[in-house]
């Protein structure tokens, strides 16, 4: 079955996470992705372990590098640079996350490539953009801190906490993909390529959505609320008789149903809780009342009863539990790749005509002569 991006060649000069994630998603849709790596070293994430897959591959690397082949090129040598330029000029898309200006110094930037191939598309990923922030190191943790995400994440005020995955890299990779797809569409219409730029800081600010909009449009600087929501209550983690339960009550009807199932119907008409703004204003009092009722039963029992009544809720799974849930729902979260011993997390897209495909496992690390 052909993929939506069959025939598109991607020269992948990126490493670590944001760029490789973007190029893997393009590869899943049929693009031919050629990953350029340094001989003897390769992508940094080849060495980021444990954990390791059964064949010894670092699972970090394996998670974002399927469906690719590798060209081992020393860009510091004339021969390696010449091969890299040939690849870049042949490619429809070049993806890179060198420090801004780095690729240009090697003659592989957009301005240089477009002279010989006006149809070329170059996607550049950086930490803080190609202007005043060009020299700042683009690490996900730094951007989580400097970009405000940690200021709204954590158990309580004074305890800023990072998200448990390099989320900013992932979001930036997704932004890179849709920028590349838009550039390909533009080229289909005009015959012209273009330079696509995306950076971690801007991607994070966009992804802060309601928190960012609250500041930009409402001059409200958000802080840490633990697991609570700044604008909706009850929307957080609540204690039960055995383990925590998440409630995600988004409207007044759901709140009344919650109160009915918990046997505390009076809360649904209490003036302190009858509307969402009132509930937000009295969130601490409401938490006490709800947890008193929730203490009567365990999380699994409440989950079944509340879900049956149309109240959004759920237990807090670990990663294993999350995969078990997805499997039980028929979502097939794990896929096997032909010829590879490394299982893969499924691409989340479902497409009726051109679904994602799994053709190649993560490229192996060859043995190089010392």
Q: Hey, which residues are catalytic here? A: 169
- Please answer whether residues 311 and 257 qualify as being in contact, where contact means their C-beta atoms are separated by less than 8 angstroms: yes
Residues recorded for the chain:
370
HSE-CB at 170 with a 13 A cutoff on CA atoms is 7
- Please answer whether residues 94 and 59 qualify as being in contact, where contact means their C-beta atoms are separated by less than 8 angstroms: no
Q: What is the C-alpha to C-alpha distance for residues 337 and 132, in angstroms, rounded to an integer?
A: 43
Q: What is the C-alpha to C-alpha distance for residues 228 and 208, in angstroms, rounded to an integer?
A: 16
Torsion angle, CA of 318/320/326/328, rounded to 10 degrees?
-110
Burial 227-251 (b: 16+ CB within 10 A, else e): ebbeebbbbbebebeeeebbbebee
Beta strand segments in the chain, E:
9-13, 32-37, 68-72, 93-96, 121-126, 195-199, 235-238, 245-248, 313-315, 334-335, 344-345
């Amino acid at each position: 079955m052909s993929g939506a991006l069959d025939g598109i060649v991607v020269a992948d000069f990126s490493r670590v996470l944001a760029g490789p994630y973007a190029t893997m998603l393009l590869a899943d849709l049929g693009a031919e992705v050629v990953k350029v790596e340094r001989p003897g070293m390769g992508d940094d994430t080849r060495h980021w372990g444990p954990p390791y897959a059964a064949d010894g591959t670092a699972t970090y690397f394996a998670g974002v590098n399927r469906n690719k082949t590798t060209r081992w090129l020393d860009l510091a040598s004339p021969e390696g640079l010449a091969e890299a330029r040939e690849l870049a000029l042949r490619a429809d898309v070049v993806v890179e996350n060198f420090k801004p200006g780095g690729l240009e110094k090697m003659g592989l930037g957009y301005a240089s490539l477009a002279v010989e191939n006006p149809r070329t598309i170059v996607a550049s990923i950086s930490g803080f953009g190609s202007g005043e922030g060009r020299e700042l190191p683009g690490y996900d943790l730094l951007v989580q801190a400097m970009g405000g995400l940690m200021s709204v994440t954590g158990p309580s005020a004074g305890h800023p906490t990072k998200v448990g995955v390099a989320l900013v890299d992932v979001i930036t990779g997704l932004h890179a993909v849709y920028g590349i797809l838009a550039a390909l569409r533009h080229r289909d219409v005009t015959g012209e390529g273009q330079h696509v730029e995306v950076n971690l800081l801007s991607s994070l600010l966009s992804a802060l959505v309601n928190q960012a909009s609250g500041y930009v449009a409402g001059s409200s600087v958000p802080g840490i609320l633990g697991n609570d929501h700044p604008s909706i209550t009850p929307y957080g983690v609540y204690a039960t008789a055995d383990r925590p339960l998440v409630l995600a009550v988004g409207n007044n009807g759901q709140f009344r149903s919650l109160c009915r199932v918990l046997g505390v119907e009076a809360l649904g008409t209490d003036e302190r809780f009858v509307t969402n703004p009132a509930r937000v204003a009295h969130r601490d009092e409401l938490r006490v009342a709800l947890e008193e009722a929730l203490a009567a039963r365990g999380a699994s029992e409440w989950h079944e009863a509340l879900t049956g009544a149309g109240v959004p809720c759920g237990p807090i799974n670990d990663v294993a539990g999350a995969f078990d849930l997805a499997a039980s729902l028929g979502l097939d979260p794990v896929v096997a790749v032909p010829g590879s011993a490394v299982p893969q997390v499924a691409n989340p897209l479902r497409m009726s005509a051109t679904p994602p495909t799994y053709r190649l496992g993560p490229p192996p690390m060859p043995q190089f002569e010392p």
